[in-house]
């Protein structure tokens, strides 16, 4: 079939397998261009491995450090008649490239919040790798089914204390709007912490530790976002920020847990990038369009793969392991420069629907958003017939 993009709200409901493969190949080429990673991990588990930062982590570990990887994600396979999710095609493309390079790659498609999924991963590690020396936690999900009770909990994307009002962009109409978001109540705050906080990361590390599949000196990282005063009301000071604070709590609990095997646990604070997760956060698309323009002009632009490659190569495994006072790895250092933030603050009140494309990198944002779903990649013939049914080595749950 011939597949064209169909955007509905914050997502594109169609995907292109060849475009997703082009995305993965380009990320692999980027990592390879940096040469081998000294002292890198060799057996890596990535939870949330199919898109965004998790995919970039899997690619960096495999192609920077020749690591065997197990990836966990929740994605939909395509059928003859209907395209699957982008993460499915990304993972198929990763698996193909890893095997071509002689690297071990196994994937588990299932609910990472479930005990069954943890048990399956433990079984795989025991059977194939023995132990892992790195665990990346990169889940982004609006819902979590609690493993103990089966209760389905939903997160909320809301401010706390007062209504949030700000200029935002309606990405369907390409118009500036005034976004109003009502504050969360106590239950919504607690629920968001349950879904996106640190509990599930802790459960993973406990299960892996108890099964004896964590190697001496194991490193685990979970990804977070803090941002600045521009996004604080909706993010860091809102429900998601509370969940991310809980990740800091979990990181110190896991650090304690791993100390007997000289393991480390850190939250890595990453920059804002275009992913399916960030597209759903009010104000993020406008802020990203603005900061991308400035960071590109200043020669410090990074997407997922550039951020993660820099983290692995200059902080985690080679270079200087520096953290902030809360033991967080700060990869948002370039984004937080005053040259970027002050310029954003100055630009914010000047942006209108008419000058959006001149004052910000809005066109770049839109193009990158479509690229997440496999559209707009150079070298892909979008007029050609493509089979949406793509199979690879994946354990279904």
Ligand X SMILES: NC(=O)c1ccc[n+]([C@@H]2O[C@H](COP(=O)([O-])OP(=O)(O)OC[C@H]3O[C@@H](n4cnc5c(N)ncnc54)[C@H](O)[C@@H]3O)[C@@H](O)[C@H]2O)c1
Please give the residue ranges that form the binding site for ligand X (CB under 6 A): 48-54, 72-75, 87, 111-113, 138-141, 223-225, 270, 272-273, 275-278
275 marked ligand binding residue:
yes
Select 14 or 291, whichever has its Cβ closest to ligand X. 291
φ/ψ of 212, rounded to 5, equals: 75, 25
Select 137 or 317, whichever has its Cβ closest to ligand X. 137
Least spacing, CB of residue 383 vs ligand X, in Å:
28
Select 27 or 138, whichever has its Cβ closest to ligand X. 138
Least spacing, CB of residue 12 vs ligand X, in Å:
13
Catalytic residue among 89, 164, 235, 362: 235
3-class secondary-structure state, position 176: strand
Token match 């770049």: residue?
364
φ/ψ of 20, rounded to 5, equals: -65, -40
Least spacing, CB of residue 49 vs ligand X, in Å:
6
Select 184 or 372, whichever has its Cβ closest to ligand X. 372
Report the half-sphere exposure of 61 (CA within 13 A, side-chain side): 28
61 marked ligand binding residue:
no
User: Mind giving me the DSSP string for 62-85?
Assistant: HHHH--EEEEEE------SSS---
Q: Are 105 and 98 in contact (CB under 8 A)?
A: yes
Spatial separation of the C-alpha atoms in residues 314 and 331, rounded to whole Å: 10
Least spacing, CB of residue 163 vs ligand X, in Å:
24
121 marked ligand binding residue:
no
- 30 assigned to active site: no
181 marked ligand binding residue:
no
Spatial separation of the C-alpha atoms in residues 70 and 135, rounded to whole Å: 10
244 marked ligand binding residue:
yes
104 marked ligand binding residue:
no
394 marked ligand binding residue:
no
Beta-bridge partners for 137: 47, 222
Residues 6 or more apart in contact with residue 317 via CB below 8 angstroms: 37, 38, 39, 40, 41, 65
Least spacing, CB of residue 32 vs ligand X, in Å:
21
Select 164 or 223, whichever has its Cβ closest to ligand X. 223
By CB atoms closer than 10 A (0-12, 13-18, 19+), residue 96 is middle
> In the complex, which residue's CB is closest to ligand X?
52
CA distances from 293 to 81, 300, 342, 348, 378 (A): 39, 10, 13, 13, 22
Q: Give 285's DSSP letter.
A: H
Query: Which segments are annotated as binding site for substrate?
Result: 225
Residues annotated catalytic, as ranges: 235
Query: Which segments are annotated as binding site for NAD(+)?
Result: 48-53, 74-75, 111-112, 139-140, 244, 273-275
């Amino acid at each position: 079939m011939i597949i064209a993009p169909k955007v509905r709200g914050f997502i594109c409901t169609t995907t292109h397998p060849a475009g997703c493969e082009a995305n993965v190949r380009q990320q692999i080429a980027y990592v390879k261009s940096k040469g081998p990673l000294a002292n890198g991990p060799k057996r890596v588990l990535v939870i949330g491995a199919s898109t965004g930062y998790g995919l970039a982590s899997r690619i960096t570990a495999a192609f920077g450090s020749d690591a065997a990887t197990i990836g966990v994600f929740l994605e939909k396979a395509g059928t003859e008649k209907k395209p699957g999710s982008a993460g499915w095609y990304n993972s198929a493309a990763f698996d193909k490239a890893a095997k071509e390079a002689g690297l071990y790659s196994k994937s588990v498609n299932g609910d990472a919040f479930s005990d069954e999924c943890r048990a399956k991963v433990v079984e795989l590690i025991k059977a194939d790798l023995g132990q892992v020396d790195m665990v990346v936690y990169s889940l982004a999900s609006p819902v979590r089914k609690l493993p103990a009770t089966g209760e389905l909990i939903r997160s909320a994307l809301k401010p706390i204390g007062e209504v949030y009002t700000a200029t935002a962009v309606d990405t369907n109409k390409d118009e500036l709007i005034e976004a109003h978001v009502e504050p969360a109540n106590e239950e919504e705050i607690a629920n968001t912490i349950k879904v996106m906080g640190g509990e599930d990361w802790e459960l993973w590390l406990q299960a892996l530790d108890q099964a004896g599949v964590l190697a001496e000196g194991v490193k685990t990282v979970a990804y977070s976002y803090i941002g600045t005063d521009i996004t604080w009301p909706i993010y860091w000071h809102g429900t998601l920020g509370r969940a991310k604070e809980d990740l800091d709590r979990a990181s110190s609990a896991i650090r304690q847990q791993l100390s007997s095997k000289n393991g480390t646990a850190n939250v890595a604070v990453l920059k804002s990038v275009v992913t399916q997760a960030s597209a759903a956060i009010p104000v993020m698309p406008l802020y990203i369009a603005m900061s991308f323009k400035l960071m590109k002009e200043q020669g410090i632009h990074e997407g997922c793969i550039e951020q993660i490659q820099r983290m692995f190569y200059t902080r985690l495994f080679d270079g200087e392991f520096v953290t902030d006072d809360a033991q967080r790895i700060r990869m948002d250092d370039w984004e937080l420069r005053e040259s970027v933030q002050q310029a954003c603050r100055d630009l914010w009140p000047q942006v209108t629907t008419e000058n959006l494309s001149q004052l910000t990198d809005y066109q770049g944002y839109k193009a990158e958003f479509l690229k997440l779903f496999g559209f707009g990649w150079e070298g892909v013939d979008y007029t050609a017939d493509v089979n949406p049914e793509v199979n690879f080595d994946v354990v279904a749950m």
